[in-house]
Structure 1
Amino acid sequence: MARILFTAHSSVGHVRALVPAARIAAEHGHTVALAAPEAAAAEVAAHGVAHLPAGLDMRQAVLEDVGPVADLPHEERVHAVHHHGFAGRPAPAMAADLVRLASEFKPEVIVREPTEFGGYLAAELLGLPHVTLAANGGTPGIVNEALLVRLGEHHEALGVLVEPSVAVLYRYLHGVLMPPAFDPSEATIPNACFYQQTSPRRLGERLPEWVADLDPARPVVLAALGTTGDNMSETPALLRRIGRALDQLDVNAVLVAGKHLTGEDVPGSRVRVVEWIAQPLMLEIADLFLTHAGFNSVRESLRAGVPLVAVPRSAEQPQNAARCQELGVAQVTQPSEATATAIHDACAEVLGEPRYLMAARALQRSIVALPPLDTFVADLVALT
């Protein structure tokens, strides 16, 4: 049996990308833990995975180094997150904590999500194999020349002897949880292998009882903008427009609004506003997903064969949304154009045109035909 250490940022989405593989590894009898900042402790525990506190909260580091970035123009926001978050202070801080924890946990392999570089630095210092597990496409866009220069500074400071490069970063295994058809560029990463994703579920997770009473004659639409939108000033207004749009459709609509809205903020009777819902389970019964196009949301929707209406807002979301539109599984409405009318029309288009559902189901078949995560775990163990 192997000792496998997973590493992630504290954001819910980054944790959720790794926990299915961690749980399957534990089910196979391996010793597993997920190292992440303290802010992730509750989310990790909710999935039944052991948590090791390590590293800095990336969001806090970016805030301290740059200031509020949620409402910056897209390109500036991406640069700030990549330079000060992914390859900034959180990377060497995580590496230092992992090296300290290694004396007790004794990992034999480190698995990181592609934006967490502390696991890579620690593995190089400890002489361990390091593996990436990508929840979606877009990895080639993360590692650019500027990021490699920043990693080189960390190499020098920590005493990592090898020069950072794409070949070094991915010299063991790069696992991808979407089929090559979704993002062919992932196949250009050294040692790339593709695996069937499993949508994450918290322990004991279920849907509320009222779901069983939804009108079977109406399609089900789930709308959720993810956790990344919580700090964006325009989120409440966008949620209100979504609510107005969905109320004009003959559907069962569920709008996940966090603490931004309540049912009293959305007119009409066809939209149920909830603070939170088990998204993977809800997608199993949905006919349409209105989403910000974050990597977990896109992955979970296509795993369920559900077409999308995307309103991409930050990070990798514009690329995800554009690719979904190219593949014929989504309509995309840009945030600057996301009026209630535009959102309504996009939803009506996807619900009314069978080609969107057919394209989503075709991609779903490509996903379930991939090797399962059990194979990923076996490939990990083969490296030890």
Structure 2
Amino acid sequence: MARIGFLSLSATGHINPATALARGLQDRGHEIIFFGVTDMAHTITGRGLGFIPYGLKEYPVGSMQQLYNKLGKLKGTEGFQFFLERMLAQAEVVFRELPQLITEQKIEALVIDQLFPGGPTVAQYLDLPYASLAAALAANEEPGVPPLTLNWDYEDGVVAEVRNLAAWKQIGMAFIPWRDFDNSQRKAWGLTPYTKLFQDSFSLLAQIANQPKAFDLPRKELPASFYYAGPLVSAAARQPVDFPWERLDGRPLIYASMGTLQNGLDWIFRIILEACAGLDAQLIVSLGGGALTASELDIPSNAIVVPYAPQPQVLERAALCITHGGLNTTLESLMNGVPMVAIPITNDQPAVAARIRYTQTGEVILLEDLTVDRLRDLVKKVLTESSYRDRSQALQRAILAERPLIHACEIIESKVLSEIPARKIN
């Protein structure tokens, strides 16, 4: 049995799959320690996992909610730029504090979010085997697939590959400040510098995707260490959420969530409420814990608005999900055979939406096209045309057949933890 450290971003969409995987490994006898900012402590320990804080000065209690409130009002390139700035600031703290903390906790292996700043550099400096966890869409670059910040449809052929490569190059240039910051620390620690930030930092032992192969564009150049595990979900790793179940009246259920980060665009919630008003269905809107409250909204009689909803349990009953295209919400919808209408906002959400469109498990509407009438038309279309649910249920069967959590645990044990004895001897 091993003592495993987890490095995860603090956003819910990253914590949920990471803690699910951690609980799975813990149930198999391994010891788990998360290293994170203080605001993560309650969530991690509440899910029965060990936790060690870092960056107490830079990230005091309540600081992450302030960051999320700012991020929630941003979209597109503004959202990406703010994300990049946050990662650079966090990397500085990671380099300063994590090597000592990880060593003191006698960690033998690490599981590192693909987007966790500085994590792979720390692992290599400490000579620890590690797995990369793609909690969001896998960020592996290849010419046949558009970058994750774009809502481009999949196209085969040379023209599409040239277009994609140009876009990947542009994305790479945007990440140069992060790469150079990482490389300055790698030079100080005697490590080989990165050429491409992400491709060079991903684990050579195991890259685990919180995504089934059935929900991806056709890929041809994934490394041998890449594994599609599928949605990493654990009931034991989720906090219970109160909900007024008695208000449900048996009508078809529409669930709407803009996640816990991009939930500060109040006008989107207002359009969703108005678009679903008058439909022969009930609407549940989860505000995601942002600054907006139900008292500030004009709520139609067929709607229930809550700060948070017990998402897995609601989706078990839902006929449709309106989502921002966050990967966790999208995959949990598919795990329940629920089709979607996606309204992507920023980060990898446009690419998630492109995969919804590619798999024909829902429809997509861009922010610049979002109106009450257009959204209502798409909601009606997805609700009434059975093909969307049929394809969503086909993906549901494919996902369940993969046993994602067990598969991911087995990969870590066979590909990563197997390296521990050899490294101890060396």
Counterpart residue number, 2:154? none
- Structure 2 counterpart of 1:236, from 260, 266, 284: 266
Counterpart residue number, 1:368? 400
Counterpart residue number, 1:91? 91
1:179 to partner: Cα distance: 1.7
Q: Is 2:187 the counterpart of 1:156?
A: yes
DSSP-derived class of the 1:139 partner: coil
- Structure 2 counterpart of 1:250, from 277, 280, 284: 280
Q: Counterparts of 1:76 and 1:274 in 2: how far apart (Å)?
A: 28
DSSP-derived class of the 2:317 partner: coil
Decide which moves more: 137-146 or 304-313: 137-146
Counterpart residue number, 2:48? 48
1:196 to partner: Cα distance: 3.7
DSSP-derived class of the 1:359 partner: helix
Q: Counterparts of 1:139 and 1:383 in 2: how far apart (Å)?
A: 25
Counterpart residue number, 2:349? 317
Q: Counterparts of 1:174 and 1:265 in 2: how far apart (Å)?
A: 43
Q: Counterparts of 1:70 and 1:256 in 2: how far apart (Å)?
A: 14
- Structure 1 counterpart of 2:228, from 184, 187, 194: 194
Counterpart residue number, 1:181? 214
- The answer to whether the 8 A contact 2:136-2:348 is kept is no
Counterpart residue number, 1:129? 129
Q: Counterparts of 1:60 and 1:111 in 2: how far apart (Å)?
A: 25
* Partner AA of 1:90 in structure 2: Q
1:302 to partner: Cα distance: 1.5
Task: From the superposition, tell whether residues 299 and 204 of structure 1 become closer, same or farther in structure 2 (CA, over 3 Å).
Answer: closer
DSSP-derived class of the 1:289 partner: strand
Q: Is 2:328 the counterpart of 1:327?
A: no
Task: From the superposition, tell whether residues 197 and 267 of structure 1 become closer, same or farther in structure 2 (CA, over 3 Å).
Answer: closer
1:204 to partner: Cα distance: 7.7
Decide which moves more: 130-139 or 30-39: 130-139
1:31 to partner: Cα distance: 0.5
1:69 to partner: Cα distance: 6.1
* Partner AA of 1:191 in structure 2: S
Task: From the superposition, tell whether residues 329 and 265 of structure 1 become closer, same or farther in structure 2 (CA, over 3 Å).
Answer: same
DSSP-derived class of the 1:32 partner: strand
- The answer to whether the 8 A contact 1:96-1:122 is kept is no
| Aligned-CA RMSD value | 2.9
1:312 to partner: Cα distance: 0.9
Decide which moves more: 183-192 or 242-251: 183-192
DSSP-derived class of the 1:23 partner: helix
Q: What residue ranges of structure 1 are gaps of 5+ in the alignment?
A: none
Q: When the two structures are superposed, what TM-score results if normalisation uses the length of structure 2?
A: 0.79
Task: From the superposition, tell whether residues 76 and 261 of structure 1 become closer, same or farther in structure 2 (CA, over 3 Å).
Answer: closer
Q: Counterparts of 1:262 and 1:60 in 2: how far apart (Å)?
A: 24
Counterpart residue number, 2:252? 219
Q: Is 2:378 the counterpart of 1:342?
A: no
Q: Is 2:12 the counterpart of 1:16?
A: no
1:130 to partner: Cα distance: 1.5
Structure showing greater relative contact order (alpha-carbon pairs closer than 8 Å, 6 or more residues apart): 2
Counterpart residue number, 2:301? 269
- The answer to whether the 8 A contact 2:47-2:238 is kept is no
Decide which moves more: 239-248 or 252-261: 252-261
Counterpart residue number, 1:170? 203
Give the length in aligned residue pairs.
Answer: 374
Counterpart residue number, 1:75? 77
Counterpart residue number, 1:353? 385
- The answer to whether the 8 A contact 2:75-2:345 is kept is no
Decide which moves more: 274-283 or 373-382: 373-382
Decide which moves more: 25-34 or 7-16: 7-16
Q: Counterparts of 1:307 and 1:100 in 2: how far apart (Å)?
A: 46
Q: Counterparts of 2:383 and 2:221 in 1: how far apart (Å)?
A: 33
- Structure 2 counterpart of 1:304, from 318, 332, 336: 336
Decide which moves more: 358-367 or 166-175: 166-175
Q: Counterparts of 1:193 and 1:293 in 2: how far apart (Å)?
A: 22
DSSP-derived class of the 1:34 partner: strand
Q: Spell out, residue by residue over 1:325-370, the C-alpha distance to the aligned partner (whole angstroms, 9 max, x if none).
A: 1210111111222222222111111101111111111112222222
Q: Counterparts of 1:253 and 1:171 in 2: how far apart (Å)?
A: 45
Tell me the percent identity: 26
- The answer to whether the 8 A contact 2:94-2:118 is kept is yes
Task: From the superposition, tell whether residues 263 and 253 of structure 1 become closer, same or farther in structure 2 (CA, over 3 Å).
Answer: farther
Counterpart residue number, 1:144? 172
Q: Counterparts of 1:345 and 1:27 in 2: how far apart (Å)?
A: 46
